[in-house]
Amino acid sequence: MTTEESDGTLPSTIAAICRRHSGREGPLLAILHDVQDTFGHIPDEAVRHVAYTLNLTRAEVHGVVRFYTDFHAEPARAHRLKVCRAEACQAVGGRAVWAAAQALSAVPDGRVEIEPVYCLGNCPCGPSAQWDGRTLGRMTPERVHELVAAANGGMPS
Amino acid sequence: MSVYLPRDSAAVSIGADEVAAAITAADPALSPLRTGARGLYALEPLVEVDHGDRRIGFGPVTAAAVPGLVEALRHPDTGHPLRIGDVDTLLADQGQNRFTCRRLGRVVPDDWDDFVAHGGTRGLRRALDMERQSIVDAVTASGLRGRGGAGFPTGRKWQTVLDADGPGKVIVCNADEGDSGTFADRMLMEGDPLALIEGMAIAGIAVGAVHGYIYLRCEYPAARASLLTALDIARHNGLLGADVLGAGHTFDIELRMGAGVYICGEETSLLESLEGHRGEVRFKPPLPAIRGFMGRPTVVNNVVTLATVPAILADGAEAYATLGHGKSRGTLTVQLCGNVRRPGLYEVPFGVSLADVIDELGGGTASGRAVRAVQAGGPLGAYLPASALDVPLDYEALAERGGMIGHGGIVVFDDTVDMAEQARFAMEFCAIESCGKCTPCRIGSVRAQEVIDRIVDGEARESNTALLRELCETMIQGSLCAHGGMAPHPVLSALNHFPDDFNRQAVGS
């Protein structure tokens, strides 16, 4: 993964991403997705270069990054577990799955980002979660524990 | 002989990939073709096998059950404990009329020939022989209404865009299916993405637009992959491009991804997002049909709406309009879930009763306990008590009961539900997902949570309940869009139908 300490690389990477989207109308979200896919998050430095390239203010780009839940300004942990908190999952025990996940997010130095999500469209197979982009159905608090413990290297939760 | 198994992400979430691998390992000759899902999720993973002109289903199959299933797949007329018989007969016996979802679960989504063999491009070819106005007239005559939630007549929206001046008209597909309890858009995009593309092409030709966007929520990675492949296939086969099916029209589609924000399913917020801004809602008017994407006339339609259009053109408006009830014509893709035995997608003509959907199709609660509350139409829909479910599914009839059809999602709760908790959650969700542009929604939703907490804690219950009702009224009347304007509905319905849940302290003491 490219990181921002490789001096000169970030601006040229950003320029290449912006070029890829040139000719498109309103490309900012698409560009930010690519930036995040490349760097794992959207560093401040990237915000500056995207703003410069698109002739926007830094405030405008920053405001967009901060508005969208799935844009991350900070580096993330190795894995991401999204747990559905919405009604259809609540009706089949989703509150307990979320509570288990939330309790685990407090583990210091854990390797899993734990986030709520409001519907994964997996409702008929709920409670639902998404592990690094893979949707999981019929979740239980126990399965959340297993997944997170395995990722944390068997660390007691 | 072919074997079929869904690649639908919900089926995969409960083991479809493992079943596919087990079948292939047992006998490579039976290696399943991956399709969309039929919507019968209680039977997923659902394996189907050709038998004459029928498809015999087996489900729910686990990887462990595969060795014992192989012989039955080779001889589908023999008995097996998981055998459910001909799947299409089962759907018909349920009263389903698969108009929009005609190919869903039957075709291989990446197979152009399969798409065409099952009626794909028929609607578009008909449209290409028609005048623009006639296409719009056909959609109007079908009675099709926006399936995204608002239920606005699709033909009227298209007419406005057709009549609008200005170049650069745009077709936008709202694929930001964020309502809890809805998954029909996802199923169609994963299982029959070419239907959506065909529908958008028809819309483009009808109103004179050459460019389309699909705004897809990023919670749907499988739909993204499916759409990207389908867009390539569509271009390769001339469904998209500079000369659509050789008839001289230009139309192409760009897939754009959202970034985890519910409010971007609201059409003006979606347009802001598509333009690269924060997804804050716009004032209406002007309507997007007049000034939408980049200020240009824009059709914004939901996935189910657009995917229904090719079938309407292919079969004729009359075929669709004869189905249904009252002003709700055609079929509704009911998405039944929550605490039900047989959750899934059921495409039925409008007019079937909500109670029948839950009891007959859904088989009652999964827990075996009594149904206590049903939320129809997504997180902004009212909670209906068990006594109010004998109502036909119809936009107007449900509205009379204080409910709504919305996107067709129905979430069932059994008698263990705490309705004060559900009411509080509705406001918490409203606050989390508020775009922040208008005060009633941004602040009201936060204050409402505090007031509900005080009521439940027994603090000045009467005056706080009056305050909550007043606050809900302010949000309904004063919010800029349906997010803040409708979030009070689940709260007020909980308060009206389940007052004891807000009064547990007093009841308990």
Per-residue pLDDT, averaged over A55-80, amounts to 96
Radius of gyration, CA atoms only, chain A: 18
CATH of B324-414, one of 2.40.50.140, 3.40.50.300, 3.20.20.70, 3.10.20.600: 3.10.20.600
Distances (CA, A) of B471 to B26, B467, B509: 62, 6, 29
Our CA angle for B11, B220, B278, nearest 5°, is 160
Q: How many residues are given for chain B?
A: 509
Nearest chain A Cα distance for residue B15, angstroms: 9
Measured between CB atoms, does A75 come within 8 Å of chain B? Answer: no
Judged by CB atoms closer than 8 Å, whether chains meet at B181 and A26 is answered as no
Contacts of A64 in chain B (CB under 8 A): 276-278
Q: What fold characterizes domain B3-93?
A: Glutaredoxin (3.40.30)
User: What's the rounded Cα separation, in Å, for the pair B147 and B170?
Assistant: 19
Q: Please name the residues between 36 and 55 in chain A that touch chain B, using a CB distance below 8 Å.
A: none
Domain map of chain A by residue range?
A: 9-67, 79-151
The chain B residue lying nearest A26, using CA atoms, is B275
Helix (H, G, I), strand (E, B) or coil at B320: helix
Determine phi and psi for A3, rounding to 5 degrees: -125, 170
ipTM over 0.85: yes
Pick A28's closest partner by Cβ from B276, B345, B414.
B276
pLDDT at A107: 79
User: What's the rounded Cα separation, in Å, for the pair A5 and A11?
Assistant: 11
Give the E-state strand segments of B223-266 in sequence order: 252-257
Contacts of A121 in chain B (CB under 8 A): 9-10, 177, 182-183, 185-186, 219-220
Judged by CB atoms closer than 8 Å, whether chains meet at A90 and B412 is answered as no
In SS3 terms, B369-405 reads as: CCEEEEEECCCCCCEEEHHHCCCECCHHHHHHCCCCC
User: What's the rounded Cα separation, in Å, for the pair B177 and B198?
Assistant: 20
Contacts of A32 in chain B (CB under 8 A): 259
User: What's the rounded Cα separation, in Å, for the pair B379 and B461?
Assistant: 26
pLDDT at A155: 53
CA B476 to mean position of chain CA atoms? 25
Tell which phi-psi region holds residue B352, choosing left (phi > 0), alpha (psi between -120 and 50) or beta. Answer: beta
* Selected residue of B7, B8, B13 to mutate for chain A interface (largest A Cβ count, 10 A): B13
Judged by CB atoms closer than 8 Å, whether chains meet at A70 and B274 is answered as no
- Which candidate, A156, A146, A144, places its Cα nearest to that of A109? A156
Judged by CB atoms closer than 8 Å, whether chains meet at B337 and A88 is answered as yes
Using a 10 angstrom Cβ sphere, with 0-12 exposed, 13-18 middle and 19 or more buried, the burial of residue B503 is: middle
Q: Which residues pair with B3 in a beta bridge?
A: B49
pLDDT at A108: 79
What type of residue is B159?
A: Q
Measured between CB atoms, does A89 come within 8 Å of chain B? Answer: yes
Strands B371-376 and B409-414: antiparallel
Residue range B112-321, CATH number: 3.40.50.11540
Please name the residues in contact with A103: beta carbons below 8 A apart, sequence gap of 6 or more: A157
CA B281 to mean position of chain CA atoms? 22
Distances (CA, A) of A90 to B365, B422, B434: 14, 9, 21
Q: Which residues pair with B371 in a beta bridge?
A: B414
- Whether the CB-CB separation of B420 and B453 falls below 8 Å is answered with no
Stated as kind and residue range, the H or E segment containing B190 is: helix B184-191
Which residue is associated with the tokens 């107007």?
B396
Nearest chain B Cα distance for residue A98, angstroms: 14
Cis ω on the peptide bond leading into residue B343 (within 30° of 0)? no
Measured between CB atoms, does A73 come within 8 Å of chain B? Answer: no
Which residue is associated with the tokens 């949707």?
A135
Structure tokens at B246: 């050789």
Please name the residues in contact with B218: beta carbons below 8 A apart, sequence gap of 6 or more: A33, A70, B224, B257, B258, B259, B260
User: What's the rounded Cα separation, in Å, for the pair B234 and B200?
Assistant: 12
CA B15 to mean position of chain CA atoms? 23
In SS3 terms, B264-298 reads as: HHCHHHHHHHHCCCCCCCCCCCCCCCCCCHHHCCE
B266-302 pLDDT per residue, tens: 999 999 999 999 999 999 999 999 999 999 999 999 9
Domain boundaries for CATH 3.40.30.10 within chain B = 3-93
* Count helices and strands in chain A by DSSP H and E runs: 7, 4
Contacts of A136 in chain B (CB under 8 A): 13
Q: What fold characterizes domain A79-151?
A: Glutaredoxin (3.40.30)
- Which candidate, B7, B308, B289, places its Cα nearest to that of B161? B289
Q: Which residues pair with B335 in a beta bridge?
A: B345, B409
Walk across the sheet containing B54-58 and list its strands: B33-35, B3-6, B47-51, B54-58, B83-86
- Whether the CB-CB separation of B31 and B64 falls below 8 Å is answered with no
Measured between CB atoms, does A99 come within 8 Å of chain B? Answer: no
pLDDT at B507: 54
Nearest chain A Cα distance for residue B97, angstroms: 20
A81-127 pLDDT per residue, tens: 999 999 999 999 999 999 999 999 887 788 999 999 999 999 999 99
Strands B170-175 and B298-302: parallel
Give the E-state strand segments of A21-103 in sequence order: 79-84
pLDDT at A140: 98
Confidence band, pLDDT 50/70/90 cuts, at residue A9: confident
What is Dmax (Cα atoms) for chain A? 52
Q: How many residues are given for chain A?
A: 157
Distances (CA, A) of B58 to A138, B86, B98, B478, B485: 20, 10, 21, 53, 45
Determine phi and psi for B219, rounding to 5 degrees: -70, -5
User: What's the rounded Cα separation, in Å, for the pair B318 and B452?
Assistant: 49
What type of residue is B349?
A: P
Distances (CA, A) of B467 to B135, B402, B422: 51, 21, 18
Q: What is the pLDDT along chain B (509 residues), one digit of tens a residue?
A: 899 999 999 999 999 999 999 999 999 999 999 999 999 999 999 999 999 999 999 999 999 999 999 999 999 999 999 999 999 999 999 999 999 999 999 999 999 999 999 999 999 999 999 999 999 999 999 999 999 999 999 999 999 999 999 889 999 999 999 999 999 999 999 999 999 999 999 999 999 999 999 999 999 999 999 999 999 999 999 999 999 999 999 999 999 999 999 999 999 999 999 999 999 999 999 999 999 999 999 999 999 999 999 999 999 999 999 999 999 999 999 999 999 999 999 999 999 999 999 999 999 999 999 999 999 999 999 999 999 999 999 999 999 988 899 999 999 999 999 999 999 999 999 999 999 999 999 999 999 999 999 999 999 999 999 999 999 999 999 999 999 999 999 999 999 999 999 998 765 54
Residue A75 DSSP one-character state: P
The chain B residue lying nearest A61, using CA atoms, is B277
The chain A residue lying nearest B255, using CA atoms, is A30
Contacts of A68 in chain B (CB under 8 A): 258-261, 279
Q: CATH classification of B419-508 is 1.20.1070.10, yes or no?
A: no
The chain A residue lying nearest B381, using CA atoms, is A87
Q: How many CB atoms lie within 10 A of CB A56?
A: 17
User: What's the rounded Cα separation, in Å, for the pair B356 and B354?
Assistant: 5
Pick A64's closest partner by Cβ from B186, B260, B277.
B277
Nearest chain A Cα distance for residue B181, angstroms: 5
